[in-house]
Chains A and B, each alone.
Chain A
Amino acid sequence: MPQMTGRIVDGAMSGFGNPGLGLEIIYSFVIIICSLMIYFGTKELYQLSSHKGINYFRRAFLFFAIAYFFRNFIKFILFYFNIARIIEISPKTAGILLGHTTLFIFVYFSSMAIFYLLYSVMWKRWNNSNKVYLFHILAVIISFISILFPSPFIHLTINLGLLVLVIIIVYISRKNQKKNKSKLYFIYLLLMIFWILNVLDILVPEFLRTYQIIIYLASIGIFLLILYKVLKKVGN
Chain B
Amino acid sequence: MKRGRLEIIKDILKIIQDNHNSIKITPLIRKSNISSNRFKEYYLEIISKQFIKEIRGKSGEKLISITEKGTKFLEKYSTIIGFLEEFDL
**Shortest distance from the beta carbon of A190 to any chain B beta carbon, whole Å:** 15
B89 in the interface, Cβ–Cβ < 8 Å? yes
Kindly name the residue among A44, A48, A182 whose own CB sees the greatest number of chain B CB atoms within 10 A. A48
Which positions 40-86 of chain B face chain A at CB distance < 8 Å?
A: 49, 69, 72-73, 76, 79-80, 82-86
Asked, given contacts A44-B76, A54-B83, A235-B79, whether A49 binds B88 with beta carbons under 8 Å apart, the answer is no
Q: Is the CB of B76 within 8 A of A184?
A: no
Assembly CA distance A51 to B73 (angstroms):
13
Kindly name the residue among A42, A51, A180 whose own CB sees the greatest number of chain B CB atoms within 10 A. A51
Q: Is the CB of B84 within 8 A of A53?
A: yes
A131 in the interface, Cβ–Cβ < 8 Å? no
Q: Is the CB of A180 within 8 A of B88?
A: yes
Q: Is the CB of B76 within 8 A of A48?
A: yes
Which positions 41-55 of chain A face chain B at CB distance < 8 Å?
A: 42, 44-45, 48-51, 53-54
Q: Is the CB of A121 within 8 A of B88?
A: yes
Q: Which of A44, A50, A120, A180 contacts B89 (CB 8 A)?
A: A120
Could you say which residues of chain B place their CB within 8 Å of the CB of A121? 87-89
Interface size on B, residues (CB 8 A): 16
A137 in the interface, Cβ–Cβ < 8 Å? no
Could you say which residues of chain B place their CB within 8 Å of the CB of A57? 87, 89
Could you say which residues of chain A place their CB within 8 Å of the CB of B49? 50
Interface size on A, residues (CB 8 A): 22
Could you say which residues of chain B place their CB within 8 Å of the CB of A53? 84, 87, 89
**Shortest distance from the beta carbon of A157 to any chain B beta carbon, whole Å:** 30
Q: What 1/0 flags go to B3-33 for Cβ under 8 Å of A?
A: 0001000000000000000000000000000
Could you say which residues of chain B place their CB within 8 Å of the CB of A51? 6, 80, 84, 89
Could you say which residues of chain A place their CB within 8 Å of the CB of B69? 48
Q: Is the CB of B83 within 8 A of A42?
A: yes
Assembly CA distance A45 to B76 (angstroms):
8
Could you say which residues of chain B place their CB within 8 Å of the CB of A235? 79
A233 in the interface, Cβ–Cβ < 8 Å? yes
- Nearest A-chain residue to B82, judged by Cβ: A233
Assembly CA distance A144 to B53 (angstroms):
50
**Shortest distance from the beta carbon of B11 to any chain A beta carbon, whole Å:** 15
- Nearest B-chain residue to A226, judged by Cβ: B87
**Shortest distance from the beta carbon of B20 to any chain A beta carbon, whole Å:** 23
Could you say which residues of chain B place their CB within 8 Å of the CB of A49? 6, 73, 80
6 CB < 8 A contacts A-B: A45-B76, A51-B80, A53-B84, A54-B80, A180-B85, A182-B87
Interface residues of B (CB under 8 A from A): 6, 49, 69, 72-73, 76, 79-80, 82-89
Interface residues of A (CB under 8 A from B): 42, 44-45, 48-51, 53-54, 56-57, 120-121, 180, 182, 184-185, 229-230, 233-235
8 cross-chain pairs, A with B, having the tightest CB-CB distances, nearest first: A53-B89, A182-B88, A233-B83, A48-B73, A49-B80, A121-B88, A233-B86, A45-B80
